[in-house]
Chain A
């Protein structure tokens, strides 16, 4: 059964409706469907996992099934958010994760560097669950509507993005919490090593840390309890590079961030979202041979990746 066929679309529509009334059941069902789809008609996931993580084919296929399972669960989550708002997903975040996030956010200002790993919008949902007001820089209108989250949607254009970055500076100077995810690409991006690739990350998060003095706290969400609940992995604040050179500062702190998330990715490869896998696979190899130039980012919304 093709993931693009009419029967599949009908099943997805039925599942979307189920997600609204019984989200945990819908997540479990979505996960099973994703794993089944990958088992019956293997797609690119196994190849990407094998190539990026150097796993043997059998293990890569097993990871790919779990990636697919989570991808389908992620779709169900997005549907929930679009229909009912982010607070609905906040109810899926484990209480212990919420407590840890609340404790981490007691130190302000703070920049939460939330990579595109794990359940989509898991970190913003946890912020809502923790009652932590935050400025969230994201794409699209998925998170609009929460009284706790001031959402600044990214725009398509470098100069347009300057507006939200300045807003972020103001928020941090006022002792606030900012959440954003590193974006890939761009002419002035900083190159880091990530999973054996030369990945280019936009330097916005690093600039904000440098100019405001706010610590960068790496964080990812992950599926828990049979992938029907959301947990958080919260790191330690990244070490602040001791240098007066802004270029060196940005390169070092973003490499620290990449090292942290690489450790997470290697420990739980099934949590890497498939679009992040695609983007990384297109990045040049760190060893010297060059893969096709990528346009993407560690981001689930590929449409906005072409900004200068």
Chain B
């Protein structure tokens, strides 16, 4: 677990993970909080969402349980909020 990580720092890590998980050459500017993760937005499938969570586990140094994804996160901001809440 990375001690002392600020919410902003953790959010940046999550955003970077989303960019990598999306595999679509997106920019940070594309990741507004209200953008849907699925259809009509980033078009992420379930596998991509899990890949993002796994990247965040590795980089935040914290275990992120499956329950975080239930109910399913709907938007970029929703996913970031859930993952950042688990930071140290």
The chain A residues found within 8 Å of chain B, CB to CB, are 157-167, 169-170, 186-188, 202-204, 207, 211, 247, 307-308
Contact = CB atoms under 8 A, between A and B. Distances in A.
Contacts of A164: 66
B49 interface: yes
B54 to A, nearest CB: 6
A159 B54 CA distance: 15
B43 A157 contact: no
Contact of B72 (A159, A167, A169, A202): A159
Given A159-B37, A162-B69, A308-B38, A211 B46 contact: no
A231 B49 CA distance: 37
Contacts of A167: 66
Nearest to B40: A308
Given A159-B73, A166-B68, A188-B43, 12 more contacts: A157-B38, A158-B38, A158-B44, A158-B45, A159-B44, A160-B72, A162-B46, A162-B53, A163-B69, A165-B50, A166-B53, A204-B47
Interface residues of B, number: 26
A207 B66 contact: no
Most buried by B among A165, A202, A203, A247: A165
A166 B45 contact: no
A187 B23 CA distance: 13
B50 A207 contact: yes
7 contacts: A160-B71, A162-B49, A169-B50, A202-B45, A204-B46, A207-B47, A247-B23
Interface string B58-70: 0000001111111
Chain A to chain B: the 8 pairs with minimum beta-carbon distance, closest first: A159-B72, A161-B46, A166-B66, A162-B49, A162-B46, A163-B69, A165-B50, A167-B66
A165 B43 contact: no
Contacts of B43: 187-188, 308
Given A187-B43, A247-B23, A308-B45, A162 B50 contact: yes
A29 B57 CA distance: 54
Contacts of B35: none
Contacts of A203: 47
Contacts of B65: 166, 170
Contacts of B68: 166
B21 to A, nearest CB: 10
B77 to A, nearest CB: 14
A158 B52 CA distance: 14
Given A159-B37, A163-B66, A167-B66, A188 B45 contact: yes
B54 A169 contact: yes
B39 interface: yes
A280 to B, nearest CB: 22
Contacts of B54: 169, 211
Contacts of A247: 23
Contacts of B13: none
A187 B37 CA distance: 14
Nearest to A188: B45
Nearest to A167: B66
Most buried by A among B37, B68, B69, B73: B69
